[in-house]
Each structure stands twice: as structure tokens, then as C-alpha cells.
Amino acid sequence: MIGRTAYGACAVAMIATTAVMAQPTTGSSVSQTSANKQVCRTFGDTGSRLGRYRACHTVQEWIELRRQTKQNVDHIQNARPWNVGE
């Protein structure tokens, strides 16, 4: 049960990361006016044609969400025991 939850969380994180990374950014320094601009993105549920939702955040919030998602994925990948079953 916990394994399925962990895999589900990883899948959601990877989908969100892929969708966020697909959007080009202007660079590491974002101007103040563009940082406050609201951007809406549509995400689809894997395996469903109808399951879609829309998320709206500012550019700065999207950057922070991407950073947090990357940090979570790195943590999950590095916390996994490598010698299971040996």
C-alpha cells in the first residue's frame, strides 16, 4: 500500500516536472513585472482522456514549484535502498 502511494507520488511529481519543464523560461533572473504575471497550465491525468485540471500560479510560484518537485524527486531517488534482495 505504501509502495503504491510512493510510486503514485513519484508519478505525479514527474508529470508535473515534465509539464513545467516544457515551458521555456527567460533565464534565471526574472524581471519583477513578469514574475507577477499569472500563468495557467492544463494538466491531464495519466491513463484518462477526460481527467484534466487547470492550475494557475505566478511565474515565480511556477519556478518555486519546479524547484520543490525536483528536490522531492531527488530525495525519493536518493533515499531508496539499493541493496534490497541481495
Could you report the per-residue pLDDT of 18-70, keeping only the tens digit for each? Answer: 655 566 555 555 566 777 899 999 999 888 888 899 999 999 999 999 999 99
Which residue has better confidence, 3 or 47?
A: 47
CB distance 42 to 57 below 8 Å: no
14, part of any domain = yes
69, part of any domain = yes
Identify the pLDDT of residue 20: 55
Q: Which domain holds residue 18?
A: 2-25+34-79
85, part of any domain = no
Cα distance between residue 24 and residue 43, in whole Å: 17
Please work out, in degrees rounded to the nearest 5, the angle formed at the alpha carbon of residue 62 by the alpha carbons of 47 and 43.
15
